């Protein structure tokens, strides 16, 4: 019985960037889209078009940033960073029903390790 050699699946760099940009824009922003729907109901054509344009804008911005980073071979590092940050933000938005704004991000960056460990308690 002969063993078939499996062909390794390969993606072009452009397809790789497009797929991950779409994944981040569509799936890792579901909590954001849910909060937008509660704040801006889709009652008119204008609000519907604004809501439908949000994933397209997110996809475009993420894809542009990743494409620029791919010139310096930093695309995989940035994709991993985008996925970690987006997943963490979605977790907090989904579970604690909060809105992450600029002041919250500044507060997170100003927090020291000792302050963070003081806030962590076992459940």
Q: Does a structural domain hold residue 7? A: no
What's the predicted TM-score (pTM) here? 0.76
Q: Does a structural domain hold residue 60? A: yes
Number of structural domains the chain divides into: 1
Q: Does a structural domain hold residue 8? A: no
pLDDT over 70 (residue 20): yes
Tell me the C-alpha distance between 64 and 75, whole Å: 11
**pLDDT by residue (tens digit) across 97-109?**
888 888 988 888 8
Domain range for 47 is 13-119
pLDDT over 90 (residue 17): yes
pLDDT on residue 123: 58
Q: Does a structural domain hold residue 79? A: yes
pLDDT over 60 (residue 1): no
pLDDT on residue 65: 94
Q: Does a structural domain hold residue 40? A: yes
Are the C-beta atoms of residues 18 and 67 closer than 8 Å to each other? no
**pLDDT by residue (tens digit) across 53-82?**
999 999 999 999 999 999 988 988 999 999
Q: Does a structural domain hold residue 4? A: no
Are the C-beta atoms of residues 13 and 68 closer than 8 Å to each other? no
């Amino acid at each position: 019985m002969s063993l078939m050699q499996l062909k390794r699946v390969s993606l072009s760099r452009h397809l790789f960037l497009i797929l991950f940009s779409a994944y981040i824009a569509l799936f890792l922003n579901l909590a954001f889209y849910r909060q937008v729907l509660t704040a801006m109901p889709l009652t008119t054509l204008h609000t519907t078009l604004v809501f439908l344009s949000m994933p397209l804008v997110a996809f475009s911005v993420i894809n542009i940033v990743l494409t620029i980073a791919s010139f310096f071979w930093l695309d995989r590092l940035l994709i991993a960073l985008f996925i970690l940050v987006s997943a963490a933000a979605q977790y907090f938005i989904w579970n604690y029903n909060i809105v992450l704004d600029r002041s919250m991000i500044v507060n997170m960056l100003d927090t020291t390790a000792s302050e963070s460990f003081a806030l962590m308690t076992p459940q």
